[in-house]
Amino acid sequence: MSTLEELRAKCETCQKCALGKTRNHLVFGVGNERARLMFVGEAPGEQEDLTGTPFVGRAGQLLDKFLYAVGIERSDVYIANILKCRPPQNRDPLPEEEDACIGYLREQVRIIQPKIIVCLGRISAMRLIKPDFKITAEHGKWFQKGDFLITAVFHPAALLRDPRKKEDMLEDMKRIAAKLNEEGEFQ
């Protein structure tokens, strides 16, 4: 099995889809390589493409606030995206882009072996939980997949557009923090 650094090196030269030509930076993922909790967003935005780090723009800053509110350190978790390169104008990922990129995320999960994966938003949930996932009805629900538990919360960018969703997000994040503590007891 490769290490995260070996995998990152492979991604750096990836040209499996057209986004390889337009990216400024690969946005591989960041955080604790032995994290028990992993967040998976959709795709890098402008700030992420400029810096090479996921969730550093406005949506990322809002995510940081929720992590802080429930006592989770950003440095304890691992954060990645379904796509590692920015789609132009932040459009939704195309199926062929997801297909080209998803193997890298699978490899990251295999290496990190998180206990809990949290999908940030519907695009991630539809890819990682089930194709017909409905974020409004099913956020906060738990699914068992192989060795890990998986759930989805609203994407932080959706909370910026509709702040009324923030209450639900806080409740979901509290339950995630509680589940992480429960899981820790059985390690």
Instruction: Give the residues lining the site for ligand URA (CB under 6 A).
Output: 41-45, 48, 54-55, 57, 59-60, 81, 120, 157
- Shortest Cβ 155–ligand URA spacing (Å): 6
Nearer to ligand URA by Cβ, of 31 and 60: the residue is 60
Nearer to ligand URA by Cβ, of 88 and 146: the residue is 88
- Shortest Cβ 54–ligand URA spacing (Å): 4
Is 106 exposed, middle or buried (CB count within 10 Å of its CB: 0-12, 13-18, 19+)? exposed
Tokens 């030509």 correspond to what residue?
21
Phi, psi of 54 (to 5 degrees): -70, 150
Q: DSSP alpha helices (H): ranges in the chain?
A: 4-12, 19-22, 46-51, 58-69, 95-112, 122-128, 135-138, 156-161, 166-185
Q: Residue 175 and residue 81: Cα distance in Å, rounded? A: 22
- Shortest Cβ 147–ligand URA spacing (Å): 24
- Shortest Cβ 125–ligand URA spacing (Å): 12
Nearer to ligand URA by Cβ, of 95 and 146: the residue is 95
Residue nearest to ligand URA (CB): 41
